[in-house]
Amino acid sequence: MTPDLIKIRKDFPILDQNVNGKPLVYFDNAATSQRPQQVIDRINDFSLLINGNIHRATHFFANRTTEAFEGARETIRRFLNAGEPSEVIFTHGATESINLVAHSFGEAFINPDDEVIVTEMEHHANIVPWQMMCERRGAKIKVLPFGDDGVLQLELLDNMITSRTKILAVTHISNSLGTVNPIAEIISLAHRKNVPVLIDGAQAAPHFSIDVQTLDCDFYVFSGHKMYGPTGIGVLYGKRKWLDLMPPFLGGGEMIDRVTFVKTTYNEIPYKFEAGTPHYIGAIGLATAVEYLNNHDIASLNRYEHDLLEEASFKLKQIEGLRIYGEAPDKAGVISFNIEGIHPFDLGTLLDQLGIAVRTGRLCADPVMDHFGVENMVRASFAFYNTVQEIETFYMALIRLKAMF
Ligand code: PMP
């Protein structure tokens, strides 16, 4: 069933405006998505009427925000089907969630000569924290490559995992290639060799229902701002069995049990990993975004986004000299490409003049650029509020710009 686009687009007031004199076409959803009115209203209500720091006082405001914050944790628990709310930790984003795991898991479990496996298609956020940790702990990174079609070479994974492999970190959906990785298969392969798995769900959580218990992943991370929620809020799901054994990441208020100058003891999870005042209004806004998604049929939104992808891929392939990077059979609404003879930055700037927002650059994925031997790419990425008409506008704009060069 096609979603009710008129109604949906009304929920996202930012979309209804002109940019550079043209109706906005927002195709940069993989970088950040827009927020529905419901999320904006909830954040406003808490800023206007009910602001009080959580967990710290007995007054009306503090009680209301604490309830809403813990309610948000329960909403996220249900969204992920986590076993218990304590396994849901609020962070500032997917990046911080991965840094938390790399740091704390590294402190607890990584020794010299141990190995961490990542893939060639990771966002920098799922490479650099592991590298930093490996440098600290004397461990090394191994990289699972992908083929030119953008599909991971899974047949190599079994042999890559050794008795020294301590964790595997892989993206659910590549932000540059759009590849949807077979994470259930990857997780079960790794688990057969007792290797825990972190899934970077930054690009997947906006599009799929996630079930961390069925997937059996050890960690799952995502950001609020890519899934119709606020910036500055993210989630780390972790199995209790790991989180209990991992030392805190940041020190400060809330993460402690008792502080003395001789010795400090730490709080239980999730608070052990939530030092300082969290972005509680962000967490409440994120829960509202999840409720918004839950009020729709997420699977049918995702099918519609896939139709947009197919339509855009079909159109773009008709443009001579246009190369699409990443053509995995299982692909999400992301198309990265270049047009021969046109610098991606020129293309991005000129598209902007026509009211079309796309991402240009290295897409925080230098190894993907190196794989294809390019400096930059242009990326269009879709959300369920985009339309077939917008894809037509985009296609016509590319034809027009190509003719100019
Ligand atoms: N992983 C992937 C796959 C991403 O696309 C992004 C954001 N571009 C991140 C991690 C980092 O997310 P954030 O910047 O919200 O921390």
118 in ligand 1 pocket by Cβ < 6 Å?
A: no
Residue 10 lies in a domain: yes
Clarify whether residues 332 and 357 are in a common domain: yes
65 in ligand 1 pocket by Cβ < 6 Å?
A: no
Clarify whether residues 204 and 119 are in a common domain: yes
Q: What proportion of the chain, given as a percentage, has pLDDT over 90?
A: 98
Q: Show Cβ contacts of residue 351 under 8 Å, excluding neighbours closer than 6 positions.
A: 357, 358, 394, 397, 398, 401
Catalytic residues: 364
Clarify whether residues 290 and 381 are in a common domain: no
pTM of the shown model: 0.98
pLDDT, residue 56, reads 76
Residue 185 lies in a domain: yes
365 in ligand 1 pocket by Cβ < 6 Å?
A: no
Q: What is the DSSP letter of 152?
A: B
pLDDT averaged over every residue in the chain: 97
243 Cα: distance to centroid of ligand 1 (angstroms): 22
227 in ligand 1 pocket by Cβ < 6 Å?
A: no
Clarify whether residues 150 and 208 are in a common domain: yes
Residue numbers of the domain that contains 289 = 40-294
- Asked whether the beta carbons of 171 and 123 are under 8 A apart, the reply is yes
Q: Which atom of ligand 1 is nearest to the CA of 226?
A: 15
- Kindly report the CATH number assigned to the domain that includes residue 93: 3.40.640.10
Residue 287 lies in a domain: yes
pLDDT digits (tens, 9 = 90+) for 232-256: 999 999 999 999 999 999 999 999 9
> What is d(CA 26, CA 28) in angstroms, rounded to the nearest whole number?
6
Q: Which atom of ligand 1 is nearest to the CA of 31?
A: 8
Q: Which atom of ligand 1 is nearest to the CA of 94?
A: 16
Phi, psi of 4 (to 5 degrees): -75, 90
220 Cα: distance to centroid of ligand 1 (angstroms): 13
Q: Averaged over 47-61, what is the pLDDT?
A: 91
Residue 35 lies in a domain: no
pLDDT, residue 106, reads 98
28 in ligand 1 pocket by Cβ < 6 Å?
A: no
- Kindly report the CATH number assigned to the domain that includes residue 342: 3.90.1150.10
Q: What proportion of the chain, given as a percentage, has pLDDT over 70?
A: 100
Clarify whether residues 21 and 72 are in a common domain: no
262 Cα: distance to centroid of ligand 1 (angstroms): 39
Q: Which of 155, 181, 151, 159 is nearest to 169 (CA)?
A: 181
pLDDT, residue 164, reads 98
Per-residue confidence band for 348, with pLDDT thresholds at 50, 70 and 90: very high
Clarify whether residues 273 and 162 are in a common domain: yes
Strands 18-19 and 359-361: unpaired
CA pseudo-torsion sign 223, 228, 229, 231? positive
175 in ligand 1 pocket by Cβ < 6 Å?
A: yes
Clarify whether residues 267 and 133 are in a common domain: yes
Q: Which of 315, 335, 326 is nearest to 389 (CA)?
A: 315
Instruction: Answer whether residue 2 shows pLDDT above 80.
Output: no
Name the closest-CA residue to atom 14, ligand 1: 95
pLDDT digits (tens, 9 = 90+) for 274-291: 999 999 999 999 999 999
Q: Of 294, 316, 344, at which residue does a domain stop?
A: 294
Clarify whether residues 74 and 218 are in a common domain: yes
pLDDT, residue 1, reads 59
177 Cα: distance to centroid of ligand 1 (angstroms): 14
Residue 215 lies in a domain: yes
Domain count, the chain: 2
Q: Averaged over 169-184, what is the pLDDT?
A: 98
The distance between the two most distant Cα atoms of the chain, rounded to a whole number of Å, is 72
pLDDT, residue 3, reads 82
Q: Averaged over 2-20, what is the pLDDT?
A: 94
Q: Of 257, 275, 294, at which residue does a domain stop?
A: 294
349 Cα: distance to centroid of ligand 1 (angstroms): 23
DSSP letter for each residue of 14-29? GGSSEETTEE-EE-BT
Instruction: Answer whether residue 19 shows pLDDT above 70.
Output: yes
Count the alpha carbons within 13 Å of 77 in the hemisphere toward its beta carbon.
Answer: 16
> What is d(CA 126, CA 187) in angstroms, rounded to the nearest whole number?
17
Clarify whether residues 340 and 260 are in a common domain: no
- List Cα–Cα distances, 91 to 44, 65, 100, 234, in angstroms: 21, 17, 9, 5
Q: Of 257, 276, 294, at which residue does a domain stop?
A: 294
Q: What is the DSSP letter of 137?
A: H
Q: Show Cβ contacts of residue 208 under 8 Å, excluding neighbours closer than 6 positions.
A: 172, 298, 302
Clarify whether residues 220 and 272 are in a common domain: yes
pLDDT digits (tens, 9 = 90+) for 378-392: 999 999 999 999 999
Phi, psi of 367 (to 5 degrees): -60, -30
Residue 241 lies in a domain: yes
Residue 146 lies in a domain: yes
pLDDT digits (tens, 9 = 90+) for 207-221: 999 999 999 999 999
CA pseudo-torsion sign 395, 400, 403, 405? negative
Residue 209 lies in a domain: yes
